[in-house]
Amino acid sequence: MDKVLFWDKAKKEHFVKELTNQMKIKNRLLGLIISNVDKKTSRVESNNKAFKYEQQIIVLQKMADLCRGIRGRHDIKQLNLLIDTYNSLS
């Protein structure tokens, strides 16, 4: 996910759409890990993957919440920090 340099209506719509798609993907993957116990993957590895996806979903949700109320540079800076956090979890 790329950092945000400016914020307008078109950027907001595109970014929110991207967030929604990422959340759908992560939720689907998390559901697959939880519902399908893979005999090839160890329990610890499955738990680690599930934890990673949960963390990513939390950060994506925080980004979506922040997008609703961006008013200035400070909010864009916060959004970029969340994007860095998300990218580090990937």
The secondary structure of residue 39, as a DSSP letter, is T
Predicted local distance difference test score (pLDDT) of residue 14: 86
Structure tokens at 72: 């200035």
- Distance between CA atoms of residues 11 and 53, nearest Å: 25
Per-residue pLDDT of the chain (90 residues; tens, 9 = 90+): 777 766 788 888 888 899 999 999 999 988 888 887 666 778 888 888 889 999 999 999 999 999 888 888 898 899 899 999 999 987
Alpha helices in 1-90 (DSSP H): 9-35, 43-67, 73-89
Q: Name the residue type at position 15.
A: F
Spatial contact of 80 and 3, defined as CB atoms under 8 Å apart: yes
Predicted local distance difference test score (pLDDT) of residue 78: 92
pTM of the model: 0.82
Predicted local distance difference test score (pLDDT) of residue 16: 87
